[in-house]
A and B are shown apart, each in its own frame.
Chain A
Amino acid sequence: MNTEPRRVAYVAHCLMNQNAKVSEFAKCAGVFSPLVERLVKNGYELQQLPCPEMGHMGASRWWASREQYDTPGYRRHCRNLAKSVVDLVIMHQDAGYDVVIVGLDGSPSSGVRLTSTKASWGGRPEGAVQGGSDRRPGMGVWMEELKFEFEERGLAFPRATGVAMDAQDFDLDKAMAELDDFLNADGEKVA
């Protein structure tokens, strides 16, 4: 009988598909392999969250701040997706899985610990410089709606972290060290 703990990581869509990033924010060709290899090495199965920004505004969308995405319509879109995701999480939990969420820190939608801010953006696109909006602590709109859906069903939001690929000072080594800490926090040794 297999006594290994069952683990599954629900990861932000773009961590497996950098083509979903808004223009100029792809850091590699396709899959962000340092993350995926680390999760697999530590016994995690992979589930990919949908990217609500892609579904909402598509591949040629403008850069946008959290404030611009924070509308009832976008939140409704996110919540609809969250209902399906929570169904799948419950399926895994019912099968005995420990579930974690790995978001995309710095993103206006998928940030877990860090999101974007630029209250002045709107109307004629101008003045955007490399790196885009500013950053502030907190969740993006998508992660927030996902959390709300768990709460509405009386369920705890799974342990969650983010890879800070959308931070303006992204540091791969630091991000992976933080991920190791996160994976270690459940008391299991990281390989």
Chain B
Amino acid sequence: MIREDLRSRKIAVVADYVVNPGSALYGARQAPPTDFIDALMARGWGIMKMPPHVAKPQSCERLVEMTVGDIVDYRKNGYAVVIAAVDDLPQMGVWIDQMKACFVRLGKDMPPLVSLRSDVSADGADVLERALAS
């Protein structure tokens, strides 16, 4: 039987860029880190980080498919999931077209999606919390 432990049962699906904004992979877009991820950590969110949006699509296909499958299973089991998309990045930083296609293939609804900016700060965590409450 399932017994309780310390897990929060709330998960944020985030772009690689908001975790690693200073990565050399991002060239001219490199930016200093913000406190967004720290805020998610402090509030107990589990993080599912998508592959970098600059990676080759064929390298990410299985990982995106796997993430969507996990989201479907989490929701079936009563976990809250929010997709934290980044509206000024290609593919919203989270491979959004591929994700949507996977949900369609599985015949499942997408979880709530919030649109953030790539320089999102700790305030972004409030946006995710509100998406849970709505």
A27 in contact with B24 (CB, 8 Å)? no
Q: Could you tell me the dominant secondary structure of chain A's interface residues?
A: mixed
B28 at the interface (CB under 8 A from A): no
Complex: A84 Cα to B10 Cα, angstroms: 26
Name 10 A/B residue pairs within 8 A (Cβ), A-sorted.
A18-B7, A23-B2, A29-B6, A30-B8, A31-B45, A45-B19, A55-B69, A84-B60, A88-B51, A88-B60
Other-chain residue from A19, A45, A84 in contact with B9 (beta carbon distance below 8 A) = A19
A46 in contact with B2 (CB, 8 Å)? no
- Give the size category of A's interface with B: 35 or more
Other-chain residue from A19, A26, A55 in contact with B11 (beta carbon distance below 8 A) = A19
What residue in chain A is nearest B45 (Cβ atoms)?
Answer: A30
B62 at the interface (CB under 8 A from A): yes
- Number of A-B residue pairs having CB atoms within 8 Å of each other in the complex: 126
B6 in contact with A26 (CB, 8 Å)? yes
Q: When each residue 37-52 of chain B gets 1 if its CB lies under 8 Å from chain A and 0 otherwise, what string results?
A: 0001100111111011
A50 in contact with B66 (CB, 8 Å)? yes
B127 at the interface (CB under 8 A from A): no
A137 at the interface (CB under 8 A from B): no
Residues of A within 8 A of B63 (CB): 50, 81, 84-85
